[in-house]
Amino acid sequence: MVIRSIPLVLAITVVAFCSTASAAVPSSAFVTGVTNADWPDGFSEVAAFGQLVQWQEGLESTDTSITSIDILAASGAASAVDVSRVRVPGADVGSTASMVVAKTLIPQMLPKDPVALASDLLGVGYKVAYLKGGKTSGGIVDNSDGVTLFASEEAAVTALKKAIADGQPVMVDVDYSYLAGAAPASGAAPASGSSATGDHVSRFIVVTGYDEANVTFTDNGTEDVLGSNGEDIVVPWWAFRQGWRATKSLAGDRPAFGPYFMLTLTTAPHPATPEFVFTRLATFEKHVIDSLYQGADSAFKQTEPKKLAFLLNNVQQFADASEAMIEFADADGQTDIVDVYTESQAYWLALEGNPDGRTVASTLRQIANRQGTSFETMRLLADGLPDLELISPETGITMDDLPLTAFRWRTPPAVGRTVLQISANNNFNDRTALFTIAPVPGTTVARVRSSVWLRIARKMGPDRTVSWRVVGTGKDKGLVSETRTITIGILQIEALTSDDGVTASDTDLPLFTWNAPVVTAKPRVAISQEDDFTNKKIEIFLPVAKGITQVRMPLSVFQRLETLDADKVVYWRVEDGAIKSTAVQPSETRSMFLP
């Protein structure tokens, strides 16, 4: 059976936090270990994501080896010549916005979704969230472990605080003008008001802490608003909220995810080899070369000094990107690639002399010709790479939150479509116990629906162990990855309240609360006169909607129990009402006394 991986509409969780949830969040919390070491200015989307990756790796090992250059290369920014800072802010629409580079060169030079690409090549999973109705970026959503749609700004703020309190730094997208105008050099934050200053521009930062008055974050800018190294910048909550909210109007700057966008990591890094990264970067060849030639053709006809000056003012960014690729290739001993990018860097720097349009056109063509040879070298590195590489989950682990677990793997560019296979009885030849999940096309991450996990759980043996692997389809039929095993944890409902042995009354009706596995189909409270729950005729059920985890005993049920039970003691538990199909065990049995 082939099952489509959870579509976006089903993977999305809509969150509306109530006052009780908000009260559970501490008034202050801080995460340490997020640094801005070695990050150049102007790569904020990639840099913020990279800082999370480096932080996560630091938790796993004291020898942090993933550098900013590794992350820039994995994102495709260094290969495709990073132009993230050359984006034209919406406030500056005019003749500059229509210039040749903004129209033809810039839009195609960067990969459409550098974070999704970096997450693949760095082997990390993540979750994203934003306000419902926001414009989404397909790649970053399709490759995520899950999506949360906030119902309000308060829900977003509560989620942000909870993540920090749980020890997880958070990547957010803000209109930086509001933060820049409120971050004080003295450390004394303004009391209130509008803080916007300068151009309205999207910028990604990493939030690392908060208290009742302020938010603390890390920014990769080398000349940030405090003139520091970009770490531990403090702004008041009102300014942060303004900047977080205002991203709704910045869709023309960077891809907008909707206001209150946030991203958190879910798995530790498992980076691909440099050879693997190079083979993926080679797939950008057509975009890069075509864009350079298009830019050259337009520049050749360009006579307006202002438009050429705009290009020339930013050539240093192109040169910096070449420098990043040089360092990455040099570390892997790829001298041919180093030579090409060294020469390309020299071409970029040569444009600093403010030449005319014909000179710009000639230089862009020279860069295109030289970079074409580097892409050929990158493609040759594919020999010897594994066809399929599993990333997570690791073999032998025990999984409890089944639908929240993402399966991730990695394929080289030459491999087309792949699917996830899970065998409930560790025998892939038994089709009755084999479940095939097709990921969203173009991705190598799959999440399994709750209904499918239930079917898997009903088929598995007493040791609760299942196997998984990835196989190729179509032209790649026959490709098979290694096999990993995972153990499915005991799926049992946990009763929270009421306590065992309490006495109920008509003025203090008991409130039943519980935690239930997500695969619980029909949760209900069962109340019986006997503690073995074998006689359904003497049971009373309090049904609740799926996803609800509490119910108070109605007065009518309490009065009925008083007339039925002579010894004034009843027993209760929470169970899955889908008795014949469920694999979820009921909670422990608790007693309750009647007056």
CATH number, domain of 482, equals: 2.60.40
Percent of the chain at pLDDT above 90? 37
Domain final residue, candidates 380, 398, 415: 380
Number of folded domains in the chain? 4
Q: Which carries the bigger pLDDT value, residue 440 or residue 200? A: 440
Average pLDDT of span 121-149: 84
First to last CA, the chain: 55
- Report the C-alpha gap between 14 and 520 in whole angstroms: 19
**Which of 89-98, 136-145, 166-175, 209-218 is predicted with the least confidence, judged by mean pLDDT?**
89-98
Answer with the residue of higher pLDDT: 256 or 271. Answer: 271
Q: Is the pLDDT of residue 298 over 80?
A: no
Asked if residues 310 and 357 have their Cβ atoms less than 8 Å apart, the reply is no
219 part of a folded domain = yes
Give Cβ neighbours of residue 149 (< 8 Å, ≥ 6 apart): 12, 13, 14, 15, 129, 130, 131, 132
Q: What is the pLDDT of residue 23?
A: 46
Q: Is residue 88 part of a domain?
A: no
Q: Is the pLDDT of residue 545 over 90?
A: no
Same domain for 326 and 436, yes or no, is no
CA 135, 6, 171 angle in degrees (round to 5)? 45
> Could you tell me the pLDDT band of residue 457, with boundaries at 50, 70 and 90?
confident
What pLDDT score was predicted for residue 14? 44
- Confidence (pLDDT) at 333: 95
How far from chain centre, in Å, is Cα 131? 15
pLDDT of residue 244: 92
The full length of the chain comes to 595
pLDDT of residue 57: 87
pTM of the model: 0.80
pLDDT exceeds 90 at position 320: no
Which run of H or of E encompasses 286? helix 285-300
Are 484 and 499 in a shared domain?
no
Q: Is 249 helix (H, G, I), strand (E, B) or coil?
A: helix
Same domain, 572 and 529: yes
Q: pLDDT: is 474 or 82 the higher one?
A: 474
Q: Lowest mean pLDDT of 219-228, 298-307, 510-519, name the range.
A: 219-228
Burial, 217: exposed, middle or buried (Cβ in 10 Å; 0-12, 13-18, 19+)?
A: buried
CB of 422 within 8 A of CB of 435? yes
Kindly report, residue by residue over 338-369, the tens digit of the pLDDT.
999 899 888 877 776 656 777 878 888 888 88
For 145, residues 6+ apart whose C-beta sits below 8 A from its C-beta are 125, 126, 127, 266, 267, 404, 406, 445, 447
CATH of the domain at 74: 3.90.70
Whether the pLDDT of residue 292 is over 80: the answer is no
Q: Is 399 exposed, middle or buried (0-12, 13-18, 19+ CB in 10 A)?
A: middle
User: Does residue 393 sit in the same domain as residue 373?
Assistant: no
pLDDT band, very low/low/confident/very high, at 188 (cuts 50, 70, 90): very low
- Assess whether 448 and 530 both reside in one domain: no
- Which residue has tokens 């006052």? 19
Range of the domain at 175: 7-17+28-79+114-272
pLDDT (mean) for 371-392: 88
Q: What span, in angstroms and rounded, lies between the C-alpha atoms of 207 and 210? A: 8
Do 433 and 368 lie in a common domain? no
Amino acid at 73: A
Counts for the chain of helices (H) and strands (E), in that order: 19, 26
CA–CA separation, 330 vs 333, rounded Å? 5
Average pLDDT over residues 59-74: 79
pLDDT tens readout for residues 21-42: 344 789 999 999 999 887 877 7
Mean pLDDT of the residues in the chain:
80
In terms of domains, do 231 and 347 share one? no
Q: Do the beta carbons of residue 197 and residue 180 sit within 8 Å?
A: yes
Could you tell me if residue 319 is inside a domain?
yes
List the CATH number of the domain containing 567: 2.60.40.10
Same domain? 63 vs 203: yes
Out of 82-91, 237-246, 318-327, 365-374, which region has the weakest mean confidence (pLDDT)? 82-91
Q: Other CB atoms closer than 10 Å to residue 371's CB: what's the count?
A: 25
Q: How confident is the model at residue 223 (pLDDT cuts 50, 70, 90)?
A: low
Instruction: Identify the weakest region by mean pLDDT among 64-68, 195-199, 460-464.
Output: 195-199
Q: Which of 354-368, 443-457, 540-554 has the lowest mean pLDDT?
A: 354-368
Identify which has the larger pLDDT, 444 or 454: 444
- State residue 404's pLDDT score: 67
Residues 118 and 223 in one domain: yes
SS3 content of the chain, % helix, strand, coil (to 5): 40, 20, 40
Query: Which of 452, 453, 451, 448 has its CA nearest to residue 546?
Result: 451
Among residues 221, 208, 165, the alpha carbon closest in space to that of 55 is found at: 208
Average of pLDDT values for 507-536? 89
- Return the pLDDT at 39: 84
Nearest to 119 by CA among 406, 437, 436: 406
Segment 418-426 shows an average pLDDT of 95
Specify the higher pLDDT residue, 225 or 521.
Answer: 521
Residue 109 lies in a domain: no
Highest-confidence segment of 1-10, 310-319, 364-373: 364-373
| The predicted structure's pLDDT at residue 304 | 64
pLDDT at position 291: 74
Final residue of a structural domain among 272, 290, 318: 272
Measure Cα distances from 374 to 15, 295, 483, 528, 545 in Å: 47, 20, 36, 74, 59
CB 423 within 8 A of CB 434: yes
Smallest CA-to-CA distance from 546 within 489, 488, 589, 493 is with 493
In this prediction, residue 330 has a pLDDT band, given cuts at 50, 70 and 90, of: very high
For range 297-325, the mean pLDDT: 67
What confidence score (pLDDT) does residue 390 get?
95
- Taking each helix axis from N to C end, the angle separating 335-350 and 315-331, rounded to the nearest 10 degrees, works out to 170
Q: Please write the tens of the pLDDT for every residue from 459-509.
A: 888 888 999 999 999 999 999 999 999 998 888 899 999 999 999 998 989
Q: Which of 272, 307, 341 is the last residue of a domain?
A: 272
Could you tell me if 119 and 246 lie in one domain?
A: yes
Query: What does the DSSP 8-state code read for residue 395?
Result: T
Virtual CA dihedral for 235, 240, 243, 245, nearest 10 degrees? 180
Residue type for 230, please?
G
Whether 521 and 576 have beta carbons less than 8 Å apart is answered as yes
Name which of 47, 29, 26, 46 is nearest 37 in CA terms: 47
